[in-house]
Structure 1
């Protein structure tokens, strides 16, 4: 194994400049989650690069959404496969980072998606090539989404299904999401959902006939208070983040809309939260109001499992053997596609992409050298996976 590791690491070092340039190039291709054309350009660019590297590729083409991309080295397939996961959509609209969106200074790369998650996309590709170079008895697969940041809402959940279907039966999955500078590795993540409650009352003049009005905003206030008081910071949290209602101050508002963010730790919690929201929606605190509930988006939680912990221990072992920082396990508040590999029954760890700071901000940055470091960590971990691992 030692010879294989040295051979793989030599390959990674020799590929370093090429892969750093790829990282920079795809980050210059700004791919906001709702800019489907730009997302598809990134996926097409990557597909060509993967094909040139000898991978079999497949594009999942979704109407009205960014596409998903799958690529693989089939190998001998004697043992269950390994997947590296990620996404190419980013949170900022094109142009927010200025005319030259990407820059590199003092070993740090700045720009849209450098950390979340295009650096991780390249980490997975580099690790896959290194494993192919030394030859292993497992399929190595890349699964990259085009609408992760918006909970697969534009693909109507089909982007999530790609992960469920493509990694089923695999030995392990590594979601190359935002890595932390301190080396933390996620073994679980909260899920998240966005809901709307649309409330209808009755409009009236606030001065001449207030008694004839039914305030939708007043109903919204009751619903907000009764919903948010159910928040449990160790379980399900509810946040009414947006309220839209009324037209002018001297009119009883006939309509109001609540936009609600819900976070949960388990898939059972998803059902509990749905029931709570249905009950709140169907309860009229102000007589005469009606309301309807709409699910805008849903991202399932990455449940912390014993399988995930066994894979984490392999990552930890590899990291220590390589002289890297000792990783600590963590459960994160933000959702990711690692949820779906776990739901498929695959041992999974997340946040194992390039390390950096400030994702989802205009100060997003990553440590350039962490590209090779994380690729080596993935390779070493995969080589440590026992034949009977599950």
Structure 2
């Protein structure tokens, strides 16, 4: 096994310049979550690179959404496969990073998606090539989404289904999402959803006939207070983040809309939260108001499982054996597609992409050398994986 590991590490070192250039190139291709054309350009570019490297590829073409891309080295399929996951959509509109969106200084790369999650996309590809180079008896698969940052809302959940279907029956999945400078690895994540409650009252002149009006904003205030008091910081949290209502100060507002962020730790919590929101929506605190509930987007939680912990311990052992930073387990508040590999019954770890910080900001950056480090960690973990691991 040691000979194979050294051979794989040597392959990664020799591929370093090529893969760093690929990383830079796809980050220059800005791919905001709602810019479907640009997302698809990135996926097409990657598909060509994966094909040149001998991988079988498949694009899931979603109308009105960024596409998903799957690529694999199938091998002999003697043992259950291993998946490396990620996404190519980013959170800022094209142009926000200036005319030259990517820059490199003192071993750091700056730009849109360098950390979240295009660096991780390249980590997975590099690790897959290294494993193919040494020859292993598992299928190695890459699964890359085009609408992760918006909770698969534009693909109407089909982007999530890709993960559920493509990794089913695999031994392990590694979500090459944003890695942390201190080396933390996620074994669980909260899920998140956005809901809208639209409230209808009755407009009236606030001076001449206020008694004839029914305030939708007042109803919204009651709903906000009664919803947010149910927040449990160790369980489900509710946040009314946006309120839109009324037209002018001297009119009783006939309409109001609440936009609500909900976070949960388990899939059972999703059902509980849905019921709570339905009850709040259907309760009229101000007589004469009505309301409707809409689910805008939903990302399920990555539940912390025994399988995840077994895989984490394998990652930790592999990291220490090869002189990398000792990883600590963590549970994160932000959602990711690791939720769906766990829902498929596959042991999963997340936040194992390139290391850096300030993702989702205009200061996003990543440590360039962590590209090779994380690829080597993935390879070492897969090689350390017992044949009966599941």
Q: Cα distance, 1:219 vs. partner? A: 0.1
- Correspondence 1:106 to 2:97: no
Matches of 1:169 and 1:179 in 2, distance apart? 26
1:200 CA displacement: 0.1
Q: CA deviation at 1:297?
A: 0.3
What does residue 319 of structure 1 align with? 319
- Give a deviation string over 1:74-132, Cα, whole Å, max 9, x none: 00000000000000000000000000000000000000000000000000000000000
Uncovered stretches (5+) of structure 2, i.e. residues with no partner: none
| 1:331 alignment partner, SS class | strand
Distance in 1, Cα, partners of 2:290 & 2:382:
55
How far is 1:317 from its partner? 0.2
Distance 1:254 1:331 in 2: 42
Deviation at 1:260, TM superposition (A): 0.1
Distance in 1, matches of 2:4 and 2:278, equals 56
> Equivalences for 1:143-222 in 2 at 5 Å?
143-222=143-222
Name 2:385's counterpart in structure 1: 385
- After superposition, the C-alpha distances for 1:169-226 in whole angstroms (9 at most, x for unaligned) are 0000000000000000000000000000000000000000000000000000000000
Deviations 1:240-269 (A, max 9, x none): 000000000000000000000000000000
Residue of structure 2 equivalent to 1:347: 347
Q: TM-score, normalised by structure 2?
A: 1.00
Q: What is the distance in 1 between the residues matched to 2:207 and 2:191? A: 46
Deviations 1:37-80 (A, max 9, x none): 00000000000000000000000000000000000000000000
Q: Deviations over 1:5-64 (max 9, x none)?
A: 000000000000000000000000000000000000000000000000000000000000
Cα displacement (A) at 1:294: 0.2
Q: Distance in 1 between matches of 2:205 and 2:28?
A: 54
Q: Report what 2:271 is aligned to.
A: 271
Provide Cα deviations, 1:290-309, integer angstroms capped at 9, x if missing partner.
00000000000000000000
**How large is the RMSD of aligned CA atoms in angstroms?**
0.2
1:49 corresponding residue in structure 2: 49
Residue 280 of structure 1, CA deviation: 0.2
Q: Deviations over 1:270-292 (max 9, x none)?
A: 00000000000000000000000
* Distance (Å, rounded) in 2 between the aligned partners of 1:384 and 1:287: 65
1:314: Cα distance to partner?
0.3
Cα-to-partner distance string for 1:124-175 (whole Å, 9 max, x where unaligned): 0000000000000000000000000000000000000000000000000000
Whole-Å separation in 2 of the counterparts to 1:220 and 1:337: 33
**Structure 1 unaligned runs (5+)?**
none
Secondary structure of the corresponding residue to residue 297 of structure 2: strand
Q: Report the CA distance between 1:385 and its aligned residue.
A: 0.6
Q: TM-score if structure 1 supplies the norm length?
A: 1.00
SS of equivalent residue, structure 2 residue 37: helix
Distance 2:207 2:384 in 1: 75
2:34 match: secondary structure = coil
**SS at 1:159 equivalent:** helix
